[in-house]
């Protein structure tokens, strides 16, 4: 059974290209959200296995959304067009499974972070 993914990013072009790539690698992209509040609603509604979560969202940022999803929620993988080191130790301490720079996103990179 394929892994279900929710893509959260405020840039439609990234959501579209990430959906195409992940679906090509066998993931089931079950939904998309453009901001933090939408992400929380879609997680509640769709219960995805993985949330690919952009850090720079227009309302709540990715760290705040991760914090709210902590517990028995889905695995969160943070992403950004900036590098992980730009955020210092924030990504490590956020409770997310890991961080992937957007330009390096691939199914295998995502799989490497999942259990």
Which residues of this protein are in contact with other proteins, per CB under 8 A? Answer: 11, 13-14, 16-18, 20-21, 24-25, 56, 61, 81-83, 85-90, 102-106
The alpha carbon of 100 is separated from its chain's Cα centroid by a whole number of angstroms, namely 9
Cβ 35 to other proteins shortest distance, Å: 14
Q: Are 13 and 96 in contact (CB under 8 A)?
A: no
State which residue, 2 or 24, has the beta carbon closest to other proteins: 24
| Distance of closest approach, residue 16 Cβ to other proteins, in angstroms | 7
Q: Which is nearer to other proteins, 41 or 79 (CB)?
A: 79
Indicate the residue among 44 and 92 with the shorter CB distance to other proteins.
92
Q: What are phi and psi of 11, to 5 degrees?
A: -105, 115
Q: Which is nearer to other proteins, 20 or 70 (CB)?
A: 20
Least CB distance to other proteins at residue 10 (A): 9
DSSP 33-67: ESSHHHHHHHHHHH--SEEEEES--SSS-HHHHHH
What does the angle CA 114 – CA 75 – CA 93 come to, to the nearest 5 degrees? 95
42 DSSP 8-state letter: H
Q: Name the 3-class secondary structure at 77.
A: strand
For the bound state, the minimum distance from the C-beta of residue 65 to other proteins, rounded and expressed in Å, comes to 14
């Amino acid at each position: 059974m394929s892994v279900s993914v929710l893509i959260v990013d405020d840039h439609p072009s990234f959501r579209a290209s990430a959906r195409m790539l992940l679906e090509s690698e066998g993931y089931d992209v079950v939904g998309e959200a453009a901001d933090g509040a939408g992400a929380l609603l879609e997680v509640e509604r769709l219960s995805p296995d993985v949330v690919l979560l952009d850090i720079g969202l227009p309302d709540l940022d990715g760290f705040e959304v991760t914090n709210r999803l902590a517990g028995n929620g889905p695995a969160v993988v943070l992403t950004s067009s900036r590098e992980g080191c730009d955020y210092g130790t924030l990504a490590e301490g956020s409770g997310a499974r890991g961080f992937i720079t957007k330009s390096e996103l691939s199914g295998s990179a995502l799989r490497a972070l999942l259990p």
